[in-house]
């Protein structure tokens, strides 16, 4: 087996481990999500510690061991200082990385996921690219959630009814969280006694449009929508994540 390897990596989180060491969770371009031991980084003399702060892009060396794999070296390429100076951007970046860590499995390489996560952090770091007040930040975070689910293979069915398979038309449609997709009003009327409590929720036509745009778009473009629609989308995406 190869004793070492190199890759670009995004630092997701860093936790204390043993007296002077830390465990670092990162998403690498070449090997997917890894959990590596960083030795001696809690010492004041450590040169590695400043290069593995969470929400950073680094060039790393992986050292393979018998019991654990280790972080041999790291050189920070981008610390995302603009992002970290903005409390709103920092909040949404932290929420996104926590969700990413929760949903993404270790040791499964996917360069599309790496590119997506890096572009998300680049977007938050570019203060001229997006407006990050509460509503726009929440909309941007919902885009992250829906696009991440799609890349992981959990994209909901948004064009055909899950039960009858007919195309979804504008009207009083429903979203089925357990099955991950839309239910037309006719099928809901016929089968409503079969659905579990809290399994379905009514969904507006505008919310369906946003779901379609965010699930399929590789890049984020700022959209002006009403706060009520943002609240509806946020409730739906939160529940959708809880069902996955």
**Torsion over CA: 32, 27, 215, 160 (sign):** positive
- Indicate the pLDDT class of residue 127, thresholds 50, 70 and 90: confident
* Segments making up each domain of the chain, as ranges: 4-78, 130-244
Dist. CA 100–CA 105, nearest whole Å: 9
| Residue 2: pLDDT over 70 | no
Contact 160, 180 (CB under 8 A): no
Q: Does the 4-78 domain belong in CATH 2.40.50.140?
A: yes
Classify domain 130-244 at the CATH superfamily level.
Recombination protein O, C-terminal domain (1.20.1440.120)
Which tens digit of pLDDT belongs to each residue from 195-222?
887 889 999 999 999 999 999 998 888 8
pLDDT at 69: 93
For 209-231, the DSSP string reads: HHHHHHHH-SS-------HHHHH
The stretch 101-112 carries a mean pLDDT of: 95
């Amino acid at each position: 087996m190869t004793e070492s390897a190199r890759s670009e990596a995004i630092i997701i989180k860093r936790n204390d481990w043993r007296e002077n060491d830390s465990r670092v969770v990162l998403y690498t371009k070449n090997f997917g999500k890894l959990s590596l031991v960083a030795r001696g980084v809690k010492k004041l003399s450590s040169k590695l510690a400043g290069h593995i702060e969470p929400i950073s892009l680094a060039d790393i060396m992986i050292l393979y061991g018998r019991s654990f794999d280790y972080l041999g070296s790291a050189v920070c390429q981008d610390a995302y200082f603009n992002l970290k100076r903005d409390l709103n951007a920092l909040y949404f970046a932290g929420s996104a990385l926590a969700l990413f860590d929760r949903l993404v499995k270790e040791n499964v390489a996917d360069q599309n996921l790496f590119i997506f996560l890096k572009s998300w952090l680049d977007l938050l770091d570019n203060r001229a690219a997006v407006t990050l007040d509460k509503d726009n930040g929440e909309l941007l975070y919902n885009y992250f959630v829906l696009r991440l689910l799609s890349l992981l293979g959990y994209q909901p069915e948004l064009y055909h009814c899950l039960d009858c398979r007919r195309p979804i038309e504008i009207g009083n449609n429903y979203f089925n969280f357990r099955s991950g997709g839309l239910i037309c009003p006719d099928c809901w009327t016929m089968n409503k006694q079969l659905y579990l409590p809290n399994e379905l929720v009514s969904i507006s036509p505008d919310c369906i449009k946003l779901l379609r745009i965010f699930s399929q778009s590789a890049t984020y473009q700022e959209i002006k929508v009403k706060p009520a629609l943002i609240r509806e989308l946020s409730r739906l995406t939160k529940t959708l994540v809880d069902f996955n």
